[in-house]
Each structure stands twice: as structure tokens, then as C-alpha cells.
A = this chain, B = another copy of it.
């Protein structure tokens, strides 16, 4: 069972040092600290456990240390920055674990860029020693790469020549679209095992600046201070404590404070219920700060994020996630409104961005997502995003016999209009009604209206709106049918249908690059008996089937 909840006091691989507006994250991997048995984390290589700590640190810095304007990522070891993902760990892992691992590391690197872009918490890399593969991809996720100018230090993406796979954590895409490395140079670089160093690495845009080894951290601190000057923090800004979330784990149930996951193994379904807030919404930013991690939008985001990661990694055969909500629509609406009313507040901004990243995890989750909207639900504003992220939405039309709960209704708020953009840069509604600005205008006119099933269906907001007579059968058949389809084909289809419209670096990484990598991970040339990934370290040379596909 993989656990994603951690805290700096438990870190085994990262050292977090704070110095006013500058933080330093030093990678110092414990060789014997692998999350699974069977390999040693040599040369500052990482496995999922190392990345879980990084994810925690990146998140925590935003909430607990808003005074930090710049984060230096460096190595705590002498001669190596980071050798990338541990190959032996990858070799031992199942295909689905490999893919899930890449997805999670990609999400963490995106979170680094999100902090830089949207919270002015700018990451810079101080590369001291060999920086290879995933190590360089980590550096690429920062906005400024400083590199020691010595014989031991280089950057490289040796995956292709060494392992017959791709750099799978966004390296190729970031070389092209972020650092604008010329394609022919990128071609040469990615086929050169030993990588590049010194002036040529700068000239080719692979790094931004060189410094003598002994002056590297000094130079990094100078750059960090410069960035901090450019992004001044409000005086006396103080973070909130990200106290541990509560989670009770049973065989077929995971119970968080605001989210419950019930596993129906016979149907390969996870029934995920999110509960609306129990209290009135705070009336001021001060009150939100006082509530801190207890503030409902933040608390439910944390629960949901953990549930997503848990299900992805620990429940691989549960192919369909069915989302429901329970609660008072007006309380959800009021909480949703605080995010809009106090959007200038740093904490509110961070919560909004966290929700954005959490919903974005759903969009790239390789599970079928259904939303069921029933009487007593509270799909309003930010919770409606859950439904809009789903592959299908069923909404019960009318009452349930013998139940006095009024008919279900959904409510659009400003939150549904790009407060939580997808990775393609558009709101889920914009993606849903791509190139249809008139309809979006019509929907905008319906903000705050309670929309019952027929109206919601007419407006295109739900897929089907069966009445009580048809509901049970229709929903049951849809869910059972899903379990009968090929999981792989569903993954490919869903990845294709969820992202209409424009593409960004992120969508390219998750769809284009990941799909190629998934393919390559399956090919005998990489993972067959004589494949390069299988033979790595054995001293034997891989044998390739020369046919180009």
C-alpha cells in the first residue's frame, strides 16, 4: 500500500532549508530508502518515495511558507546532482506502475512550474555534479538552471542511447517548447549518452548560466535574491499549518473527513462521495486564515487529492470512478463565493490553485469517470467541476418515490468559467462547448440559477437525465458495460476525448509524450528479454528488432 501523506520531519531524501525569502531543497537520497525492496537508490536516483516527498515539499512551501519567493533545487551529495529515476526500480515495476509513476512525477514538475508562474515562488536549479535523465528533467522544470563549470558536472538525457526509452518526465517537450532548444540540437543532445557541459550547454540553451563549482551556491543565492526582489511579499506574511489529513482505511472503504471512497469490487467501481461544508462560510480573509487547513475548500481538496493518488496506485483494477456529492447547495455556493470575493488574498489564491491542480489530476487519470447527480447532492460551482471532468454525467429527473428530498439541481458559478482551467488552458465548460462562444454566453447568463434535470440537459450540462423509473437500470448498465470493455482502449479513448481544442506543454507531455512512452515501454526493444531496459547494468548489449514502426 503506497502512502502519499508525509511531512518534512519524516523526509528521508530531501533537506528543506529556509532562509527568509529563499528556500533550498537539497536532494540527498538515502540509498537504502527505496519505497519497495530489491534496489538501492544509488547516485541520488529517485523512486516514487523520493518524489512523494518532493510533492509534499512543493505543496507545503506554498501554504506554510508564503514568504518564500525563490526555491533553489540542488544536490546534497558531492559529485552527483541526480541520476534520474532508478532504473532497477523501473525494471522491477509493472507496466501500470511505471506509467503511474511517470504521471505522478510529471504532475509534481507541473506543480513546480505552477508555483513559479502563479505564485511567484520561482524555482531555480543549482546543478552540482552529474545531472542525468530525470535529474535533468527536474532541472528543466525550474525556471533558471545554473550549472557548475567543472569536469564532473554535465546535463544529459541518456534514456534513448542507454535504455531505449524516452525521457518520460517532460524532457523532450520542455527542451522544445520551454527552452526552445533547436530541434536538431535536441536530437544530437538526446542521443549523446555523456550529455553536455560548459559553454556549449549554455550556447545550446540547455542551461542558463555557469559558475565555478565553489561559487555555485553563492551564485544561486544571488539569483534567488534577485528574484525575491522582483516578487516582494506582503510584510509579515505568515503561512498556515498543513496539519495531517485524517484517513481511515478499510478493505473496501477509505474514509476522509469530507470524502468517502467505497469500492465495489464486483463491478470494478469506486464510489466516491464528496460532502459539502457543514458550517457557514467565513466572512473575511482573516477568518479563512484562522480556519487554515480546516477551511472546507482546502480540506476537501486535500482529501480528494489523496483519494485520487491512492486509487491510482493502490487500486489498479478499479476501472470506473463514480462521483457523488451530498450536502447543502447554499453552503457550497457560499464557500465557492469566498474564493471569488477574496481572490486577492494569497491563501485564497493558493487554495484556488490547489483545487485547479487536483481537478487537473482527474483529467489525466486513466479511469472512466462518471458523475451521478441525485436529490440531496450539491454540484455547485467548484464541486460541479467534478461532474464536468467526468466522461459522463447522469442526472436524476424529478423525485424519488417515497423520498421527500427535492429534485436534484446543479448551479453554475464563476468558478466554472476558467477559475480552474484544465491543462489545455481552457475551462472545462469551454472545452465542452469548444468554439461555441454564444452558448458559453448563454450559460454565463444562468450563473447562480438552480438548474433541474430537464434544463440542465437542454443546456448540455448533463449527458442523460433519466427519471426514477429508468435511473437504476440505465446507470447500472452503463457501469457494468464499462467494466466489460478493454481497459487500454478506454484509456486511449478517454485521453483523446477529454482534451478538445488547444494544446499546451502540459497536454503534450501527458498525452503525446506519455502515449509514445507507454508504447515504447511495451516494446520488446525496451522491455523484452533482450531489451535495453531489461539488460541495463547486466553488461549485455540489447538486441533490437530493426523494423521501424
A512 at the interface (CB under 8 A from B): yes
Pick the interface stretch among A130-138, A277-285, A372-380, A480-488.
A480-488
Q: Is A226 an interface residue (CB 8 A)?
A: no
Question: A residues 172-210 with Cβ under 8 Å of B?
Answer: 172-173, 175-177, 180, 182-188, 190-191
- A549 located at the interface, meaning its Cβ lies under 8 Å from any Cβ of chain B in the complex: yes
Which B residues are CB-close (under 8 A) to A486? 160, 164, 520, 523, 525-526, 532, 542, 544
Given contacts A486-B164, A515-B515, contact A435 B190 (CB under 8 A): no
Residues of B within 8 A of A542 (CB): 486
Q: Is A235 an interface residue (CB 8 A)?
A: no
A547 CB contacts on chain B under 8 angstroms: 94, 96, 316-317, 487
Residues on B with C-beta less than 8 A from A432 are 182-183
Interface residues of A in 117-166 (CB under 8 A from B): 159-161, 164-166
**So how many copies of this chain end up in the complex?**
2
- Counting chain A residues whose Cβ lies within 8 A of the other chain, the interface size class is 35 or more
Q: Does A418 contact B (CB under 8 A)?
A: no
Given A494-B187, A512-B511: A164 in contact with B489 (beta carbons within 8 A): yes
For residue A522, CB closer than 8 A to chain B, the reply is yes
Contact of A161 among B191, B390, B460, B485 (CB under 8 A): B485
A495, closest chain B residue (CB): B516
Question: Which residues of chain B come closer than 8 Å to A160, judged between CB atoms?
Answer: 485-486, 489-490, 493
Whether the pair A526, B488 counts as a contact (CB closer than 8 A) is: yes
Q: Are A434 and B176 in contact (CB under 8 A)?
A: yes
A501 interface contact, C-beta 8 A: yes
Contacts of A96 in B (CB 8 A): 547-549
> Which residue of the partner chain B has the closest CB to A184?
B463
Closest chain B CB from A309 CB (angstroms): 14
Which residues from 495 to 535 on chain A have a C-beta closer than 8 Å to any C-beta of chain B? 495-503, 508, 511-513, 515-520, 522-523, 525-526, 532
Across the interface, A512 reaches (CB within 8 A) one of B183, B185, B190, B496, namely B496
CB-nearest residue of chain B relative to A95? B549
Q: Which of A96, A491, A493 has most B Cβ within 10 Å?
A: A493
User: B431 touching A183 by the CB < 8 A rule?
Assistant: yes
* 9 closest Cβ pairs, A-B complex: A515-B515, A164-B486, A492-B516, A503-B503, A176-B500, A519-B519, A184-B463, A172-B496, A317-B546
Q: List 16 A-B contacts (CB under 8 A).
A: A164-B485, A166-B492, A173-B496, A175-B497, A176-B434, A187-B391, A190-B493, A191-B481, A488-B525, A491-B548, A492-B516, A496-B513, A502-B503, A515-B516, A515-B519, A519-B519
Besides A164-B488, A492-B519, A511-B512, 8 other CB < 8 A contacts?
A: A96-B548, A160-B493, A182-B460, A183-B500, A190-B497, A316-B547, A319-B546, A486-B525
